[in-house]
């Protein structure tokens, strides 16, 4: 059966390369953005427990609320400032803390209250609006729409999860470890011959092949003589897809890309939290360190990584040695542009009267205002645009000083 370009592309789509995700179908465009800093947004899906990442062992009520989950220096936590301790799963990041390239904002949240749905919480976090259903695009995309000189390579949505915060009219690129493909030498030659007179697709094919270097899943592709050509599509190394995502992001950030966004799952810890959260923190640590190593010193110095979650968890440990959906959470910040080595934000306290709904950490700041100030300081986005367009209706308040 003759193999046309249409058939080749259709076959690629059938094996998992969606039009939205495949570099094969994305126009190749390299253009400088009008700013030189880098922003990485990581969505921690599942509702990260702020009180386990950033353990407030200095609060007199903390230990009593968490019979088996209490941290602090006496329970393996890494002391940060005499009040907070860092979960030991994040120990690989301590050198960044000491270099003041790692910081946190405690007791933040979106305007989401009392409904405790992951889906709604994540939708609101990524939309950046004050309520659900108030916009069809994401806050990062709205920021890009208001910046001149943005090309599709300026911003990347990376990974398998849907990144709604980059949805919208601004041009962005998508990439997933599962979207890459490799071909046998025969199939590669055939594809190159079909596309040799089409610079756009020939260049895109070369890029797709370059991105696909390891892991394989054998598939059959009918060749022109009726035989089955071997076609391989890489799959992520088991348990290491987060590193492939981080390495790809770093590679793009070394070039023209200025914004990257992806998600890391595994933060919904209703039971056996100690085990599940330790694994998730190690994955987050590895991801940040892979970004740090991948971009190099010069790019790292003008990079801000913003890790945020849809809501926090209950302050009281439940009967399954876990915690349930809550309200106030925390942000993790990393990068050479971050004013690290400190915990930002106002601590509300853990006395029952100080809790939200007498069960959750009380939010003392809007997570959107923290993100807005980072966009203001890192990229120079106008304050009026931030408060009226990027985060419509937001009062940013005073600068919390998250950047140098």
Predicted TM-score (pTM) of the model is: 0.80
Model pLDDT, residue 115: 87
**Residue-level pLDDT at 205:** 62
Q: What is the pLDDT of residue 201?
A: 54
The confidence score (pLDDT) of residue 33 equals 66
> What parts of the chain have a pLDDT lower than 50?
1-32, 180, 213-238
**How far is the C-alpha of 281 from the C-alpha of 278, rounded, in Å?**
5
pLDDT of residue 373: 98
Using alpha carbons, select from 268, 266, 270, 267 the residue that is nearest to residue 319.
270
User: What pLDDT does residue 176 have?
Assistant: 80
- pLDDT tens string 12-56: 333 333 333 334 433 333 334 678 999 999 999 999 999 999 999
The percentage of residues in the chain with a pLDDT greater than 90, rounded to a whole number, is 67
């Amino acid at each position: 059966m003759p193999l046309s370009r249409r058939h080749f592309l259709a076959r690629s789509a059938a094996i998992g390369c969606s039009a939205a995700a495949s570099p094969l179908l994305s126009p190749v465009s390299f253009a400088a953005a009008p700013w030189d800093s880098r922003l990485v947004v990581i969505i921690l899906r599942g509702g990260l427990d702020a009180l386990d990442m950033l353990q407030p062992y200095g609060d007199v009520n903390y230990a009593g609320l968490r019979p088996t989950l209490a941290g602090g220096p006496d329970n393996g936590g890494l002391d940060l400032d005499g009040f907070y301790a860092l979960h030991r799963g994040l120990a690989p990041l301590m050198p960044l803390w000491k270099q003041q390239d790692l910081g946190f904002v405690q007791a933040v949240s979106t305007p989401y209250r009392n409904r405790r749905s992951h889906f709604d919480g994540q939708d609101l976090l990524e939309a950046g609006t004050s309520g659900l259903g108030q916009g069809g695009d994401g806050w990062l995309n709205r920021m890009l729409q208001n910046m001149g000189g943005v090309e599709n390579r300026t911003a990347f949505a990376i990974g398998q999860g849907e990144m709604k915060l980059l949805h919208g009219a601004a041009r962005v690129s998508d990439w997933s470890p599962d979207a890459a493909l490799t071909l046998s030498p025969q199939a590669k030659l055939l594809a190159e011959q079909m596309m040799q007179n089409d610079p756009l697709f020939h260049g895109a094919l070369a890029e797709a092949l370059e991105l696909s270097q390891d892991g394989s899943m054998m598939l059959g592709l009918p060749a022109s003589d009726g035989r089955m050509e071997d076609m391989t599509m890489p799959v992520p190394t088991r348990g290491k897809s987060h590193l492939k995502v981080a390495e790809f992001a770093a590679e793009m950030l070394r070039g023209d890309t200025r914004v990257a966004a992806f998600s890391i799952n595994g933060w919904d810890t209703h039971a056996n939290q100690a085990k599940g959260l330790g694994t998730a923190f190690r994955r987050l640590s590895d991801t940040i360190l892979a970004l740090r190593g991948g971009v190099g010193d010069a790019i790292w110095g003008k990079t801000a990584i913003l890790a945020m979650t849809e809501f926090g968890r209950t302050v009281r440990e439940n009967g399954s040695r876990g915690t349930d959906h809550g309200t106030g959470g925390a942000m993790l910040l990393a990068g050479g542009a971050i004013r690290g080595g400190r915990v930002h934000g106002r601590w509300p306290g853990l006395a029952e009267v100080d809790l939200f709904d007498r069960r959750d950490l009380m939010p003392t700041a809007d997570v959107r205002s923290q993100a807005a100030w980072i966009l203001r300081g890192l990229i120079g986005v106008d304050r009026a645009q931030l408060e009226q367009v990027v985060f419509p209706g937001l009062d940013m308040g005073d600068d919390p000083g998250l950047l140098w």
